[in-house]
Amino acid sequence: MQKSPGRSRRDGRKSPVKGKSNAPKSGKPFKPGSKPGSKPGSGAPVRSRRPASQKPLPADPNGPIRLNRYISNAGVCSRREADVLITSGAVRVNGDVVTEMGRRVSPTDHVQVGEHRIKPETKRYFLVNKPKGFAATPVDPSGKRTIGDLIAKACREPLIPVGKMEPEACGLVLMTNDLDLLQRMTHLVTGTKQLFHLEVKSKVSPEHIQSLLSGVVVDGKSIRAEAASIDEKNPFALGLELRSQRSRIAKRMLEQLGYVVLKVDRVRIGPLTKKDLPRGYFRELQPAELNLLRMSS
């Protein structure tokens, strides 16, 4: 799969460029279910460094944690929004107003936001293989079938989807109540990469693959694919890797190039794939998968 040119590494250093040409590197054709970034012939993904801003979770799950994380774990808001609540004096710990940042609390502490006591809720992470025709929302006011119907019996905690997916699109959707992870995954610049498999009405032009890598204007903004290539078994299909969490963006990029899009299927979210997950089914993430997902976000 060809990679997008002009990208810089996360540590701030520019990636080396061989020769004088700035053209994107050419790679093997896309195969549905393949993982870009793997060593050729190995089948194993290349492990990336953990960002310096990421810190491991406390070893003791019952030990004290930062107040903003406690509020976030209770499902009130994200940690960044919790910081605002704390500095505004809206949070009390054991009856005392707390405004300083960095305050740590234990599970036994009495924490209030406004007049309501809060308690951390269990974080849940479910991967769903959404069928076509289902809205990627917990509920739909008009009574249409939703992804919430598919996972209605998964857990008691209310879950929300990470990113957006059009009803006519299909593929992977991550459902969670972890607002911090959701915010990191949907960041416009450093968000989690998504791999889409798209089918179109006419043959995909190699020149248009270069256009996708260079940037296509969608809704007034230039959006570049992280990687793109034509399906080696089907010239009417291609793989498109984006950081956008919206399936609509993948479709719109091709429409801007004159294609009629017949199918949009999200086949990978970061390290998560559709392997052993049939359409219309869901499963809970394993701890190892969750750690890999956090490292990729």
For 199-252, write each residue's pLDDT tens digit.
999 999 999 999 999 999 998 999 999 999 999 999 999 999 998 878 899 999
For residue 44, name the pLDDT band (cuts at 50, 70, 90): very low
Say how far apart CA 125 and CA 273 lie, in whole Å.
14
Q: Which of 263, 169, 172, 249 is nearest to 217 (CA)?
A: 249
* Structural domains of the chain in order of their starting residue, each with its CATH number: 65-117 (3.10.290.10), 125-187+272-296 (3.30.70.580)
pLDDT at 157 (0 to 100): 84
Burial string for 5-31 (b: 16+ CB within 10 Å, else e) reads beeeeeeeeeeeeeeeeeebeeeebbe
Q: Band of the pLDDT at 277, cuts 50, 70, 90?
A: very high
In this prediction, residues 176-180 reach a mean pLDDT of: 87
pLDDT at 45 over 70: no
Q: What is the pLDDT of residue 201?
A: 97
Reported pTM: 0.68
Buried b (16+ CB within 10 A) or exposed e, 228-260: bbbbeeeebbbbbbbbbbbbbbbbbbbebbebe
* pLDDT of res. 46: 39
Question: Is it the case that residue 61 has pLDDT exceeding 60?
Answer: no
Residue with tokens 């960095």: 102
**Which candidate, 187, 193, 188, places its Cα nearest to that of 172?**
193
Give the residue with greater pLDDT, 283 vs 138: 283
Averaged pLDDT, 187-200? 90
Distance CA 99, CA 120 (A): 20
At residue 241, the pLDDT reads: 96
- State the DSSP H helix or E strand holding residue 117, giving kind and residue range, or none if neither: strand 116-117
The predicted structure's pLDDT at residue 50: 45
- Helices and strands, counts by H and E, the chain: 7, 18
* Mean pLDDT, all residues of the chain: 82
Q: In the structure encoding, which two tokens stand for residue 215, read together?
A: 């940037």
Band of residue 42 on the pLDDT scale cut at 50, 70, 90? very low
pLDDT-derived band of residue 5, with 50, 70 and 90 as boundaries? low
SS3 letters for 262-283? EEEEEEEECCEECCCCCCCCEE
Can you give the pLDDT at residue 31? 52
The better pLDDT of the pair 149, 46 is held by: 149
| Rg of the chain on CA atoms, in Å | 21
Is residue 35 pLDDT above 50, yes or no? no
Q: Is the dihedral of CA 184, 186, 191, 195 positive or negative?
A: positive
Confidence of residue 24 (pLDDT cuts 50, 70, 90): very low
